[in-house]
Copies of this chain bind each other. A is one copy, B any other.
Amino acid sequence: MDNYKVTFEPEGRRTLVKKGETILEATKRVGVGIRSECGGQGICGKCKVALTDKKSVSELTDTERKLLTSEEAASNFRLACQAKILDSLTVYVPLESRMRIRRIQIDGIEREVKLAPQIRKITVTVPAPSLSDIRSDSDRLLDSLKKPGLGNLSIEYDILRNLPEILRKAQWNIAVTVWNNQKVIAVEPADAANKLYGVAIDIGTSKIVGQLIDLTTGRTLAVESIENPQMIFGEDIITRINHAILHPKGLRDLQATVIEGLNKVTLGACKNAKIRPEHVYEMTVAGNTAMHHLFLGIQPKYMALAPFTPVTKRAINVSAKEINLRINPCANIYVLPIIAGFVGGDNVADVLSTRIHKTDEISLLLDIGTNTELTLGNKDGLISCSCASGPAFEGGHIKHGMKAVTGAIERVKINTDTLNIEYETIENTKPVGICGSGLVDIIAELLRYSLLSKTGRLNPEAAIDKFREKDGLMELTLVQKKDSGTGEDIVITQKDVRELQLAKAAIYTGCAILMKRKGIKIENIKKVYIAGAFGNYLNLENAKTIGLLPDVPSERVAFVGNAAISGARLTLISRKERIEAEQISKTVQYLELGTDLDFEKEFISSIKFP
């Protein structure tokens, strides 16, 4: 077997590869983060790399001819997922092809609830055995725990194994961790009495966030977040589900990968807070339905096919050891219930943390992403739906679109006098592309200055010098080559505008149909909650200008950030909130837009700008 050496620049990282492996595969091995929104299927064209020597790799494929400009091809640019390695070589990974620091929304709104977790620690002194007291170790322990409020306790089998040694080493002074007043899940010397921790987790498609909570005080001790390591199997949900379906070990790999991610987050948080992971006795996990299934290793195939059936909607309790989470092995993992195939545990957590299921006033909750989940109503009933808003807000299907990572244009204004475009980038570096909030801004500004018509046509007549036609497509230059971080112009094209129109129309249609079903008019909506990272950087007026959000007074709109982690935290610190989460999962009505008779009409009429 031939082994070739591949060097990745500018880091100079090296790895050995086998003949025929793609450059993308090699990047994974060496830990060079490279964009591959389509999971290496030759669709997104984001994994461009430059080679020192075109002879060391396989010939240009048809896919590459389609996705690379002739200039790029001539400069030895290739798609990492297409080019197969035939000899040792050096690969240059340009800035715009890299995964970079992403803005992760780790804070949610904090709602005060009474601290009443599912687990508690009880200190007892157990009488030592004697010839006149021959009770078994477990009976003498359980007899000592006969206290008001503690029912018919049992001891986890795993704990029995070493129980006699622990009791005697602790000289019968014991701290007992009890779950749900039912089960003894840990027995330790009494000096561990105050060490009672839990972790709340939000598994997003692209990020994992964890909060480490002291369950004796309710205080958050540490927050950790990472990119969801399942990214290496594809950036979007459908690519990952396909991986689970098509590869015999695919589901297992996806599960193991996300669990490794949770371990990283949890152990990182424990390290920061200087606590021992075995003192974490419970974890609560919120995620969309796909993340929920993949985390639990449950086959997600039929969720991706009509009629989009999830395997289970209920909350699930599993022990840490069952799924290899490296906290206390008998710790309980509570996985929040879901509402439907496209409305997951993250939405249950959103509802729980905003309490829209408890208020008199009518609220609308939006969680904007590739799928945007909408929930509308009040304490008398909530209805939810999911709109296929597409990846435009995350930079997908947009010529120079990108996620909200370093170098992304996140705010745009058009100068009233010069009509010049002014922008800000994340981390204030040279711009390399445009992210969702920037895109909303530029479209709104173009509308404002009539550079774009209500029907969505770019209007070059209004400022002829800003526009040009390329490959038969009108485009507007946002950043000139000399100012950009990529060495190329950053533009917005007519096609990009159309993508955004489809995205905002999908969301608007969802809102319109939910309102119609509930018989609610726009003026009755007293509160609009926008969850998710995208919301936080969004210019509200611009979002209303383009018709992404319904036209409600700005003071009624609240950005709630990562409401999913807030909800997960609530279920960790309060048993009552956990029961509410289950109620939400059971009672929120789900509307399948695909089967709604008004959908097409509404959608078409929503494409125009307001």
Contact = CB atoms under 8 A, between A and B. Distances in A.
A163 B299 contact: yes
Contacts of A135: 309, 313
Interface in A321-367: 322, 340-341
B312 A160 contact: yes
Given A157-B322, A297-B161, A302 B137 contact: yes
Contact of A595 (B132, B138, B595): B132
A122 interface: no
Contacts of A313: 135-136, 138-139
B161 A312 contact: no
Nearest to A338: B136
Nearest to A166: B299
Contacts of A136: 309-314
B163 A311 contact: yes
Nearest to A138: B312
A340 B299 CA distance: 46
Contact of A307 (B130, B306, B311, B314): B130
B316 A157 contact: yes
Contacts of A308: 134
A296 interface: yes
A540 B155 CA distance: 45
A121 interface: no
Contacts of A138: 311-314
Nearest to A590: B134
A610 to B, nearest CB: 31
B155 A298 contact: no
Contacts of A131: 306-307, 592, 594-595
Given A160-B296, A160-B311, A162-B299, 8 more contacts: A129-B302, A131-B592, A133-B307, A134-B308, A136-B313, A137-B310, A137-B311, A161-B296
Contacts of A318: 157
A165 interface: yes
A149 to B, nearest CB: 22
Copies in the complex: 2
Contacts of A553: none
Contacts of A162: 299
Contact of A592 (B134, B165, B302): B134
B134 A164 contact: no
Among A129, A155, A595, the most chain B Cβ lie within 10 Å of the Cβ of A129
A481 interface: no
Contacts of A556: none
A84 interface: no
A316 B594 CA distance: 50
A168 B302 contact: yes
A316 B306 CA distance: 44
Interface in A277-300: 296-299
A403 interface: no
A252 to B, nearest CB: 10
A46 interface: no
B302 A341 contact: no
Nearest to A318: B157
A383 to B, nearest CB: 14
Interface in A567-600: 590, 592, 594-595
A301 interface: yes
A334 to B, nearest CB: 12
Interface string A518-537: 00000000000000000000
Interface in A126-174: 129-139, 155, 157, 160-165, 168
Contacts of A341: 134
A138 B307 CA distance: 15
Among A139, A164, A302, A590, the most chain B Cβ lie within 10 Å of the Cβ of A164
Given A131-B306, A307-B131, A310-B136, A164 B299 contact: yes
Nearest to A306: B131
A309 B160 CA distance: 13
A211 to B, nearest CB: 25
A167 to B, nearest CB: 9
Contacts of A314: 136, 138-139
Interface string A184-215: 00000000000000000000000000000000
B309 A129 contact: yes
Among A314, A322, A595, the most chain B Cβ lie within 10 Å of the Cβ of A314
Interface string A109-134: 00000000000000000000111111
Contacts of A298: 160-161, 163
A-B pairs, top 9 by smallest CB distance, nearest first, are A138-B312, A129-B309, A136-B313, A131-B307, A136-B310, A137-B311, A164-B302, A131-B595, A161-B298
A296 B159 CA distance: 11
Contact of A340 (B130, B134, B322): B134
Nearest to A140: B309
Contact of A164 (B132, B160, B309): B309
